[in-house]
């Protein structure tokens, strides 16, 4: 989930937390500390066995599934001490059929009772190698699409977001089963990520994760990351390759 830098896992919601900074709608801050490991590159070729030539000019559908390490959507809440804004986001990582990181989704809800203000933002962490200028477009169960734009890129991927979304979209996501996120790759070919969102509504309306539980999950994930990094290093040494990079330190707590 989004609280540990995980080269062997999907997309690193620690970056979402750092980007938000628990600071309300400040949506383009750079994460503090060490950037997560690179994400899987954006797909540029059709799936194995797909027709070539004309098929390569049409839309490409990339089916993803939930990261097995994150069995449910996770809701995280905090307060920006500067503005007094309550910030919650509900998030999940997604991987390919081979278990490689593909993208992450986070839906933010920010409320400031004193100022009688609230805002909702849908944010994605997408792979590198996509055209930024066209932005993104996403739909829930084939309903009317919502446009978004890229905000900032880092070595692990690029953030894209749709700000100021209304409760209608959130309600559609809570009841929906599929979220299609469309972008363009470097050849201007449309790529649509088909994302399952079943269970989002339960997490969005439910309680936030307990900080103690979150801390324990961080420790377990970091231990797993270090083990995987060491196993990869040994494997590369046996194959005569370069040593794998050391596992990064855990992301700072909010």
pLDDT class of 10 with cuts at 50, 70, 90: very low
pLDDT at position 248 is 45
Task: Quote the tokens at residue 234.
Answer: 């040994």
Predicted local confidence at residue 90, as pLDDT: 95
Tell me the pLDDT band of 241, cut-offs 50, 70 and 90.
low
The predicted structure's pLDDT at residue 225: 67
Q: What is the mean pLDDT of residues 216-241?
A: 78
3-state secondary structure of 179: strand
What is the 8-class DSSP label of residue 49?
A: T
pLDDT at position 237 is 86
Over the stretch 117-176, which tens digit does the pLDDT of each residue have? 889 999 999 999 999 999 999 999 988 899 999 999 988 889 999 999 999 999 999 999
- pLDDT grade, residue 99 (50/70/90)? confident
Of 62, 83, 76, 100, the residue nearest 196 (C-alpha): 62
Cα 16–Cα 72–Cα 129 angle in degrees, nearest 5 = 45
Question: Which of 197, 158, 192 lies closest to 62, judged by CA?
Answer: 192
**Residue 56: predicted pLDDT:** 60
pLDDT on residue 80: 84
Is residue 245 predicted with pLDDT exceeding 60? no
Q: What is the pLDDT of residue 57?
A: 66
Please determine, for residue 246, whether its predicted confidence score (pLDDT) is greater than 70.
no
Nearest to 217 by CA among 1, 64, 5, 42: 1
Considering Cα of 120, then 125, then 130, then 133, what sign does the dihedral take? positive
- At 229 the pLDDT is 76
∠ at Cα 253 (205, 247), nearest 5°?
115
Mean pLDDT to the nearest integer, 19-29: 34
The total number of residues written for the chain in this structure: 254
């Amino acid at each position: 989930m989004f609280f540990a830098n995980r080269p062997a896992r999907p997309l690193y919601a620690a970056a979402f937390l750092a980007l938000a900074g628990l600071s309300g709608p400040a949506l383009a801050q750079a994460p503090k500390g060490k950037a997560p490991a690179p994400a899987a590159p954006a797909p540029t070729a059709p799936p194995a066995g797909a027709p070539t030539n004309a098929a390569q000019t049409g839309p490409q559908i990339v089916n993803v599934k939930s990261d097995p390490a994150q069995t449910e959507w996770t809701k995280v809440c905090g307060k920006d001490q500067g503005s007094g804004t309550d910030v919650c986001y509900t998030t999940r990582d997604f991987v390919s059929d081979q278990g490689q990181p593909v993208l992450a989704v986070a839906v933010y809800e920010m409320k400031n009772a004193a100022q009688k203000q609230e805002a909702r933002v849908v944010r994605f962490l997408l792979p590198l190698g996509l055209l930024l200028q066209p932005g993104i477009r996403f739909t829930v169960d084939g309903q009317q699409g919502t446009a978004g734009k890229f905000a900032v890129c880092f070595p692990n991927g690029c953030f894209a977001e749709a700000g100021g979304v209304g409760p209608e979209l959130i309600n559609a996501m809570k009841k929906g089963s599929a979220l299609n996120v469309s972008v363009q790759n470097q050849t201007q070919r449309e790529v649509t990520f088909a994302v399952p969102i079943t269970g989002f509504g339960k997490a969005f309306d439910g309680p936030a994760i307990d900080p103690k539980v979150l801390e324990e999950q961080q420790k377990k994930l970091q231990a797993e990351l270090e083990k995987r990094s060491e196993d990869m290093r040994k494997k590369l040494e046996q194959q005569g390759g370069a040593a794998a990079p050391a596992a990064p330190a855990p992301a700072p707590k909010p």
